[in-house]
């Protein structure tokens, strides 16, 4: 149980386009989902926290108009990288949890390459 | 603001050695601490979770200890194997909040 999937696992896009990444909790309802970004050989940096049905809370330094997060249901959150640039190339990982501080379950990650 | 540090950043050992990975955190008011494993290009696999009231957790060849007052945790790996090669991350959740704060990770290489 407690499986989290991400789609796509790999995406290559041209500079200026928008890319949507999906994060799904497959066998449980996730009231909270977290989006992380990871650069090569570095640790995970939290980008934002999203609660189902409400606006996401962004970490300092993360542009909310650049990284649009939608958590429309208890099993799906999406991250849209708008007008992507090469510096947005990174590994994006989501995690999902139930209410409070219960264990977060991590997705397999999405590697984005912007040309 | 919570800060998590892991030492060493990288470690290379021959197969069969017992090894210790270190994690320290600046704010001792934590709810729990987790150790994760990450293989290259992959997501995270949770290895051990220690609640703030616990001192250690064990799973197979892995043992994690927690000294909350001193802001330290160690991950002990017994009889290391090449398949243990990965990056190991520790992360804490503070009492005030529900977000994980990650350390920089330790990249482990176990040579046959």
- What's the pLDDT at A101? 60
pLDDT digits (tens, 9 = 90+) for B1-53: 899 999 999 999 999 999 999 999 999 999 999 999 999 888 999 999 999 99
- The candidate with the shortest Cα–Cα distance to B19, out of B50, B61, B70, B68, is B61
Beta pairing, strands A110-114 & A10-13: parallel
CB A75 within 8 A of CB A30: yes
Cβ-based burial of B73 (10 A; exposed 0-12, middle 13-18, buried ≥19): buried
Q: Which of A42, A44, A109 sits opposite B42 (nearest CB)?
A: A109
Selected residue with higher pLDDT from A102 and A49 = A49
Taking CB atoms and an 8 Å cut-off, how many pairs form between chains A and B? 51
H or E element: which one contains B93? strand B86-94
Q: Do B43 and A100 touch (CB under 8 A)?
A: no
Mean pLDDT of chain B: 94
Percent helix, percent strand, percent coil in chain B, to nearest 5? 5, 60, 40
CA angle at A34 for the pair B44 and B34, rounded to the nearest 5° = 45
A8 three-class SS: coil
Q: Which residues of A touch B49 (CB under 8 A)?
A: 103
Q: Which residues of A touch B103 (CB under 8 A)?
A: 43
Q: Which residues of A touch B42 (CB under 8 A)?
A: 108-109
Q: Which residues of A touch B31 (CB under 8 A)?
A: 101
- What's the pLDDT at A1? 64
- What's the pLDDT at B41? 86
Distance from CA of A100 to the nearest CA of B (A): 6
Q: Which residues of B touch A101 (CB under 8 A)?
A: 31-32, 93, 97-98
- What's the pLDDT at A102? 65
- What's the pLDDT at A100? 59
C-alpha to C-alpha distance for A63 and A61, rounded to whole angstroms: 6
Q: Do A106 and B46 touch (CB under 8 A)?
A: yes
C-alpha to C-alpha distance for A32 and A96, rounded to whole angstroms: 6
Q: Give the CB-side neighbour count of residue A34, counting CA atoms within 13 A.
A: 23
pLDDT at B68 over 80: yes
pLDDT at B84 over 70: yes
CB A101 within 8 A of CB B33: no
Query: Mean pLDDT over residues A22-46, rounded?
Result: 91
C-alpha to C-alpha distance for B73 and A106, rounded to whole angstroms: 22
pLDDT digits (tens, 9 = 90+) for A56-86: 999 999 999 999 999 888 899 999 999 999 9
Selected residue with higher pLDDT from B69 and A53 = B69
Q: Do A43 and B44 touch (CB under 8 A)?
A: no
- What's the pLDDT at B98? 76
Range scoring the smallest mean pLDDT among A4-8, A30-34, A86-90, B61-65: A30-34
- A8 vs B: CB within 8 A: no
pLDDT digits (tens, 9 = 90+) for A102-112: 678 899 999 99
């Amino acid at each position: 149980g407690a499986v989290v999937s991400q789609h796509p696992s790999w995406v290559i896009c041209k500079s200026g386009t928008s890319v949507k990444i999906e994060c799904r909790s497959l066998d449980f309802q996730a009231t909270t989902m977290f989006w992380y970004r990871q650069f090569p050989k570095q640790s995970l940096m939290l980008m934002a926290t999203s609660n189902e049905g409400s606006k996401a809370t962004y970490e300092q330094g993360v542009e909310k108009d650049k990284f649009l997060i939608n958590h429309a249901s208890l099993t799906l959150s999406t991250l849209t990288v708008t007008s992507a640039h090469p510096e947005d190339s990174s590994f994006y990982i989501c995690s999902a949890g139930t209410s409070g501080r219960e264990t977060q379950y991590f997705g397999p990650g999405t590697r984005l390459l912007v040309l | 603001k919570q800060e998590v540090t892991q030492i060493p950043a990288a470690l290379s050992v021959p197969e069969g050695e017992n090894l210790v990975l270190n994690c320290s955190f600046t704010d001792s008011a934590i709810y729990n601490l987790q150790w994760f494993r990450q293989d290259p290009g992959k997501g995270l696999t949770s290895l051990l979770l220690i609640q703030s009231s616990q001192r250690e957790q064990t799973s197979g060849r892995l043992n994690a200890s927690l000294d909350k007052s001193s802001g330290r945790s160690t991950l002990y790996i017994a009889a290391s194997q090449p398949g243990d090669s990965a990056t190991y991350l520790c992360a804490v959740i503070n009492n005030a909040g529900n977000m994980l704060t990650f350390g920089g990770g330790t990249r482990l290489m176990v040579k046959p």
